[in-house]
Amino acid sequence: MGKDQELLEAARNGNLPVVEKILGQRAKRSGPLASLRRGPGANVQDASGYSALHHAALNGHKEIVKLLLTHEASPNIVDDKGCSPLHLAAWTGNVNIVRLLLCHGPSVPNVNLMNKDKETALHCSAQYGHTAVVSLLLEHGCDPTIRNIKQESALDLAAQYGRLETVETLVRTHPELVAAYNGRSAGGIMSIPHTPLHLASRNGHKGVVEILLSSGLDVNVRTTSGTALHEAALCGKLEVVRTLLDNGADLSIRDASNNTVYDLLKQFPPHVVQDITTLIRSHSWRFRARFCTEQRPIWRKNQRNLPSQLSVKPNQLPTTANTRSSTAFSQPSRNEHTRTDPTSQPGDHLNNFFHSNRCLFTCVYTSSDVVALLDFFYSIEY
């Protein structure tokens, strides 16, 4: 085994005495022919492009990293994949070695150096949730907006793999990462294939979705694949779908192929998407109920001519129909309505409510009654 290989093996295995001996031999020799007699330098590389510093950084040998840096080992030397020792240390999450490489090298490391996949050390650490390393890299000027060959930013990777703490750190220290996506729901489809919200939704990371939404990311931001709701629904992420709907996800938005979420779900067997479909329909009913009961009553101007509240007798409540074609509900006549509590607010009632089968109701309910009634309607199989 030659001296070069011996140094690389010692650095990989954490053999500090051997590394000291080999590097010391080179440092002691001087004179006109010293370069011919010296041992290997600190920057020798093996067949894969790994230097001794690569090996030591990857395997967590802090003292060897420190020793190599004092012997002018370069933190910017790259292997065959374009990775520097900083990439490898960030990938393993060793914050102490990352700090050594950033602060104690013979030259300033390029924190935004990209490998052949166009990934920086920040990508490597964010993907695996090494939040302490992410924070340190950001403090030293690492650019979080850089995208890799797949158009993924560090925030994208953290969101995709559910790294909650890392996502929190990135959106807190760089709110512009979220602001860049806003306004795209109304302004057209984004040129990139995804957002952090899409990736988190697709993979079912509810906590990450909540963090992104609370930081201000538009729930209806669109890409070619549609909104985050399209992604979550297609991947069967029920709780994420619920979270998106509760935060105002728009069911009418279409993807680049002109499909709504409903259109996409129809392409699958009903039993496969039953839970998602049920949730979406239920939410749609409840939204319509809230919308109707929150509107200003249409009888406001003629309020004097109408009773303050209408009520329905028990025998007039809707009953389940035995067949599709049978009439399930009856319309009470005007003289059957009775005046009730005069202190109630007209805005708390719903007038002329249409059911999906086009039956007209002149009976009026309070807000909570409407929601319960809609749930009842939806439970009926037509």
Chain segment 37-80, per-residue pLDDT in tens? 444 588 999 999 999 999 999 999 999 999 999 999 999 999 99
In a domain, 236, yes or no: yes
Residue 29: band (very low, low, confident or very high) from pLDDT cuts 50, 70, 90: low
Range of the domain at 239: 194-295
For 140-198, the pLDDT digits (tens) are: 999 999 999 999 999 999 999 999 999 999 999 999 999 988 865 555 677 778 999 99
Share the mean pLDDT of the chain: 79
Best CA proximity match to 261, nearest among 248, 280, 239: 280
In a domain, 272, yes or no: yes
**Predicted pLDDT of residue 185:** 54
In a domain, 376, yes or no: no
In a domain, 380, yes or no: no
Best CA proximity match to 318, nearest among 359, 265, 270: 359
In a domain, 19, yes or no: no
In a domain, 132, yes or no: no
Say what the pTM is.
Answer: 0.73
CA 169 to chain centre: 14
Best CA proximity match to 209, nearest among 229, 225, 235, 182: 229
Task: Give the total number of structural domains in the chain.
Answer: 1
Which residues are 223's β-sheet partners? Answer: 226
In the numeric block, the tokens 């807190």 are attached to: 172
CATH number at residue 265: 1.25.40.20
In a domain, 260, yes or no: yes
Asked if 101 contacts 109 with a C-beta cutoff of 8 angstroms, the reply is: yes
Q: Would you state the structure tokens that stand for residue 83, as one six-digit string?
A: 């990775």
The amino acid sitting at 128 is Y
Question: How many CB atoms within 10 Å of residue 344?
Answer: 12
In a domain, 264, yes or no: yes
In the numeric block, the tokens 């319960």 are attached to: 372
**Predicted pLDDT of residue 28:** 56
Best CA proximity match to 204, nearest among 159, 153, 245: 159
